[in-house]
Structure formats: C-alpha cells, structure tokens
Amino acid sequence: MTIRIGVIGTGAIGEDHARRITHVLSGGHIVAVTDVNRSQAEAVVARLGLDARVYDDGHELIKAADVDALLVTSWGPTHEEFVLAAIKAGKYVFCEKPLATTAQGCLNIVNAEVAAGQRLVQIGFMRPYDRGYQLLKQAIDDNQIGEPLMVHCAHRNPTVPESYITSMAIVDTAIHELDVLRWLLNDDYKTVQVVYPRRTRNRFEHLADPQVVLIETHKGVRIDLEIFVNCQYGYDIQCSVVGETGIINLPEPQSLLVRSDARLSTAILTDWKQRFIDAYDIELQNFINGIAQGRIEGPTAWDGYAAAVAADACVKAQESGQIEAVVMAERPAFYNQ
Ligand code: NAD
Ligand code: NAI
Ligand code: ISE
C-alpha cells in the first residue's frame, strides 16, 4: 500500500522531507505540492524529480481526492489553519513544529481531533526519535543515575537571518527542548524564567542573543537552557542530566577523529538537517507506517499543545523578566493511551 502525500510549504524542511520520502523511505509517494511562492514548489518538483502536481493553494491540495495524507511544512503562523482543514477532511497530517503559534491555537486542534474521534495529527518533534536522546531516556527509566535533579542544556545555531526576532529563540528554537525534556523526564513544567547574558556582537541589533531559559518542573527538577543562535562555530545541541548518583550526557554525533598537523581534532556539524537526519527519517517512516496500519503513534497534538503552553509562558517571561507559571488545561482521556 502506497500512501499518497501532499506537501504544503516546500521550503528548507518541506523539500528535505519530500526528498527523504521519495529517495530514502518506503511506502510514501509525493503526489502534490504547494507553496505561496509557486516557483519554489515547481523548483522542488524539478530538483527532486517528483511526479507531483503543483497546486495554487493549500486548501485545494488538502481536498484533492488523490491525496491521502499531508505534510505541513509552511511557516508556523499557517500551521493551525492547514491542520484544522486536514482534520475536517478526515486526513492524516504530519505538522512541523510549532503545531500553532499560540497555546490556544493548539487547543483548537486538540479539540477538533478529539471531536473527530481518531488520531490524525503527528507533530514534527523529532528528538524523541534520536538515538542519543533514547539512550538518555533508557538510563533514566532504568534508574542508572537515581532520580534526575538538574538538566543543563544548550541549543546553538551558527547564525540566524535578520528575520529572526527575540521571541523566536523560544517559539522556533527552544521549543525542541520544551518538547523533548518533558518526554525525557516524564514530567511537566511548573515555572519558567528568561535571563539575558551580555549580548554577542555577532547578531542583528534587534535580537537578544544569547538567552538562558530557567525551568522548574512539577517534580522539582531545575533546567537551565542556553539558546545561542549566533554562536558562529556550529550547530551544537547539548544535554546533561544530573541525577542522585551520576551524570549522563547526550552523545556527540559520530565523527571521525583526525590526527594531523600536530592536532587531534573532530568536526562539529553546522547544519540542523544533518544533526538529526536519522531522527527525521525515522519519524516520517513511522508516520507512513502508522497510516498504512490505521494507527499513528508519534508526538501528538497534545504534545504540541504542552510545548506551546510552555513557550507562551517563556515569551511572557522574556517580556516581564519575572518567573511565570506554566498552566495547562486538563488532558483529554483521548490522549492517555
Ligand atoms: P522555509 O521558509 O524554508 O519553508 C517554508 C515554505 O513554506 C516556504 O517555501 C514558503 O513559501 C511556504 N509557505 C509558507 N506559507 C505557506 C502556505 N500558506 N502554503 C504553502 N506554502 C507556504 O521554512 P522551513 O525551514 O522549511 O520550516 C518550515 C517549518 O518546519 C517551520 O514550521 C519550522 O519550524 C519547521 N522546521 C522544523 C525543523 C525541525 O527540526 N523539526 C527544522 C526546520 C524547520
Ligand atoms: P522555510 O521558510 O524554508 O519554508 C517555509 C515555506 O513555507 C516557505 O517556502 C514559504 O514560502 C512557505 N509558506 C509559507 N506560508 C505558506 C502558505 N500559506 N502556503 C504555502 N506555503 C507557505 O522554513 P523552514 O525552515 O522549512 O521551516 C518550516 C517549518 O518547519 C517551520 O514551522 C519550522 O519551525 C519547521 N522546522 C522544523 C525543524 C525541525 O527540526 N523539526 C527544522 C526547521 C524548521
Ligand atoms: C529550526 O526551525 C529548527 O527547528 C531547528 O531544529 C532548530 O535547531 C533551529 O534553531 C530552528 O531555527
């Protein structure tokens, strides 16, 4: 059985996901694409050699009879409307983070999915599919370091474009940690605070960079998360969990150790597409397999909502300078399985 997939938004990740579905994964076929910039969609069809129709509009594509499932990879502010339309059409939808740009927008999707009575939405939170994070989780669940007490994290990008603004450090970047850490610790967030160190000179004037997000979970774990999106040297993701009897660190991506010119060195990645390439492959294969079996299993709309509630609180904390509470709605039983 081949799942016929339509892609809404053929930018950086839309193209990369279309590439993996076409050339790496099995069971999926890209039959439709659209982008507000039509020439962008046409260029992707040509570059990847897709046998896909180019639509003028996302809604038209969602309704197409030969499209079984959707990938929403347009920019964040458009996600809510496309995911709601997909649910209305009764179609499976893989939506890149953020599920919506506000917690209320995510809740609208949660409510629509619950009303549909069937899981249709998977979020592009790929870190739980990463082997390194899985090793951390296994060690915590096996009690190898006792109870987790503190987590030190860093999310560093070499540079960001001028369009990147201060709140995006949360809603675009920290959102990955806000997702993966509640999964890793099997916990939810109680409060957040954002503090601003001295700013790097290597940034556009309007952007506060770096930032430190301080989080307290319901179990009392303290998390410090450095967001530094103009660090210059590479794309670097760090996570260290301090437990009662030991410390575990996220493994570095596999890389050759080079002895040369009187140096022992190892390269650091610079492109986010490479850092989690295996996790992206696995999450999407999982989505396709789930559709074929009539049951998708990846990160849920509720996970998208939970990350968005925490993100909203962080953005509020960015502006207030205060410690802000993270207050979630009650989880519908629908998401308990
Ligand atoms: P991008 O800007 O490169 O690509 C987005 C594309 O969507 C653009 O081509 C744009 O023209 C198109 N688009 C925008 N609005 C549209 C609409 N209404 N209908 C159709 N097309 C539309 O962005 P990107 O880097 O590919 O990111 C896309 C999404 O993927 C974002 O939500 C981003 O947060 C997410 N993302 C996630 C990861 C991850 O690690 N999980 C990585 C990159 C991007
Ligand atoms: P991008 O800017 O490269 O691509 C966005 C595309 O969406 C653009 O081509 C744009 O023209 C198109 N678009 C915007 N509005 C549209 C609309 N209404 N209809 C159709 N197309 C529309 O951005 P990028 O980096 O690909 O990010 C896209 C999404 O993926 C974002 O939500 C981003 O947060 C997420 N993302 C996720 C990553 C991950 O690791 N999971 C990594 C990078 C991005
Ligand atoms: C991008 O949108 C992503 O999602 C990447 O995974 C992240 O590391 C980067 O900071 C974001 O801009």
Query: ipTM score of the complex?
Result: 0.77
Q: Is 58 a residue whose pLDDT tops 80?
A: yes
Task: Please state the rounded mean pLDDT for residues 109-113.
Answer: 98
Contacts of 26 by beta carbon, 8 Å cutoff, 6+ apart: 285, 288
Name the 3-class secondary structure at 217.
strand
Q: What is the pLDDT of residue 87?
A: 98
Q: Is 337 a residue whose pLDDT tops 80?
A: no
At residue 116, what are phi and psi to the nearest 5 degrees?
-70, -25
**What would the pLDDT profile of 22-31 be if each residue is shown by its tens digit?**
999 999 999 9
Name the 3-class secondary structure at 93.
strand
Q: What is the pLDDT of residue 1?
A: 85
Predicted structure pTM score: 0.91
- Alpha carbon distance 30, 21 (integer Å): 7
> Which atom of ligand 3 sits closest to the CA of residue 173?
10
Contacts of 292 by beta carbon, 8 Å cutoff, 6+ apart: 1, 3, 27
Ordered domains of the chain (ranges, CATH): 3-125+278-300 (3.40.50.720), 128-272 (3.30.360.10)
Q: Whose CA is nearest to atom 2 of ligand 1?
A: 11
Q: Is 217 a residue whose pLDDT tops 90?
A: yes
Q: How confident is the model at residue 149 (pLDDT cuts 50, 70, 90)?
A: very high
Q: Which amino acid would we find at residue 306?
A: A
Q: Whose CA is nearest to atom 2 of ligand 2?
A: 11
Task: Please state the rounded mean pLDDT for residues 258-266.
Answer: 97
Q: Whose CA is nearest to atom 8 of ligand 2?
A: 11
**What would the pLDDT profile of 77-97 be if each residue is shown by its tens digit?**
999 999 999 999 999 999 999
CB 258 within 8 A of CB 266: yes
Q: Is 249 a residue whose pLDDT tops 90?
A: yes
- To test ligand 1's pocket by mutation, which of 15, 94, 96, 237 has the most ligand atoms within 8 angstroms of CB? 96
Q: What is the pLDDT of residue 275?
A: 97
What residues are in contact with ligand 2 under a 6 Å CB criterion? Answer: 8-14, 34-37, 40, 58, 73-76, 78, 96-97, 124, 126, 172, 272
- To test ligand 3's pocket by mutation, which of 97, 176, 179, 269 has the most ligand atoms within 8 angstroms of CB? 176
Q: What is the pLDDT of residue 55?
A: 98
